[in-house]
Amino acid sequence: MNRYKILAKKYVGLSLRIGLLLPLLLPFVAKAETDDEIWENARKVMKSRAHCKSLSQCLSKAQDGDVKAQYITGNAYRVGPDAENIYYFKVKEVDNKKALFWLNMAAQNENVNAMNSLSKLYSVEATNNTRDFEKAKRWASKCVDKGETDCHFVLGVIAEANGDYTAARSHYQKTTLHRKAKYQMAMLHFYGKGGAVDYKSANDILSGIELDRFGPAYRVRGLMAINGLGQEKDVRLGLSYLRQAIEYKEFAAYEDIGELYYTGNGVEKNYETAFSNFSAIVSMQRPKTMRYVALMAYYGQGVEKKVDHAIVLFEAAANKGDVTSAWALGRIYLSGEDIEKNEELGFHLVKFAAERNHPEAQYGLGYLYSSGIGVEKNAEEARRWLTLAAKNGNKMAIEALK
């Protein structure tokens, strides 16, 4: 294949970024033997013309008042190791404190890119210590005033968080080629926020984002295909989308595939395959994943039975707010199966889940109060919890109240 065609086809994004540098690349391309060599030669040219050759050089320039260097330094600390792919120098780890310092410095010196990065650090990329929607909105608004349309994304996220879905849609529509904004717009249609649920519109938007190899878009399209949302149910197609999501680093799709094989929803039930997928991300400590691995370890489904391991995972998931794990663990302690029976602890775990609107736990709590298991008998409390469970559709509670 002609090497120039390879460059045009595979590195369109690169050619847009380097603009006038393309003529400088052609001699390198002519000598290159593989795609990898083309890419490496392109990197060499870009690095040779970079504003900073290293983090220390950038810091020195930033301290001398170089506004562009202030932005690059702040953004490099913001992205951490990914800085090597953007600025061609290494940064060990993300450092939000240093990122905020230098980005604030550059933003105050009217650098619009710094304003954009700052608005994200204070909102969509924020930790509990750095989240500040007021500052995010201020910098995003100033960024928009300077003509940077992508800053509408943060304004959309803030509007959505405040329940103003009309404003959120308006901001998302004003961004240019912003895949995350498109994804958020698709989710507004998907959940019917600010209008009726519209799976077709969500699907149409998501199909466009796939061109950007955006993992979350593949994941949602996979779930829509598996569950027949806005289209005919197609589990095979859905699985294909989920696997592509994983390829593009949306690892939560492992959980979806695991659940599919655990429940046998449209596929042959296979505990070994389910466990393999759940295990791939159990270290991420996602509550639902930990719960499934705990269930499988407790019952020996697709893996050797390990009760102690199961209990630890159930507890970890419950501590992260997974009420189903608390309910399951409560039942285990109440039954005393493969573990020392503890009715009092079992009662408190069931109560924890019931208070968080888990219908089965509400029925269970009503039963415990009526039977005096783990707590003194209390007919009034029993009826109250059975009534709540019945209102939430629990069939056993409905029968018990007849």
Amino acid at residue number 130? T
Note whether residue 110 is domain-resident. Answer: no
pLDDT value for 45: 63
pLDDT value for 6: 37
Q: Going by C-beta distance under 8 Å and a sequence separation of 6 or more, which residues neighbour residue 243?
A: 253, 257
Note whether residue 254 is domain-resident. Answer: no
Q: Which residue has the tokens 């490496």?
A: 40
- How many alpha carbons fall within 13 Å on the CB side of residue 363? 15
Note whether residue 71 is domain-resident. Answer: no
- Tens of pLDDT, residues 108-157: 999 999 999 999 999 999 887 778 999 999 999 999 999 999 999 999 99
pLDDT level of residue 21 (50, 70, 90 thresholds): very low
Q: Decide: helix, strand or coil at residue 238.
A: helix
Total domains present in the chain: 2
- Examine the pLDDT at 24 and tell me if it is beyond 60: no
Note whether residue 104 is domain-resident. Answer: no
- Examine the pLDDT at 297 and tell me if it is beyond 80: yes
pLDDT value for 167: 95
Note whether residue 32 is domain-resident. Answer: yes
- Tens of pLDDT, residues 169-189: 999 999 876 888 999 999 999
Question: Which secondary structure element, helix H or strand E, spans residue 156, and what is its range?
Answer: helix 152-161
Note whether residue 122 is domain-resident. Answer: no
Q: 203 and 231 in contact (C-beta within 8 Å)?
A: yes
- Tens of pLDDT, residues 258-278: 999 999 999 999 999 999 999
- Joined tokens for residue 245: 């999501």
**Alpha-carbon distances of 269 from 141, 240, 259, 274, 301, rounded to whole Å:** 51, 18, 10, 8, 11
Note whether residue 218 is domain-resident. Answer: no
**Alpha-carbon distances of 366 from 3, 308, 321, 360, 384, rounded to whole Å:** 73, 29, 22, 10, 7
The span from the CA of 249 to the CA of 218, in Å, is: 11
Q: Which of 11, 30, 48 delimits the end of a domain?
A: 48
Range of the domain at 377: 344-402
Q: 339 and 307 in contact (C-beta within 8 Å)?
A: yes
Q: What is the DSSP letter of 148?
A: -
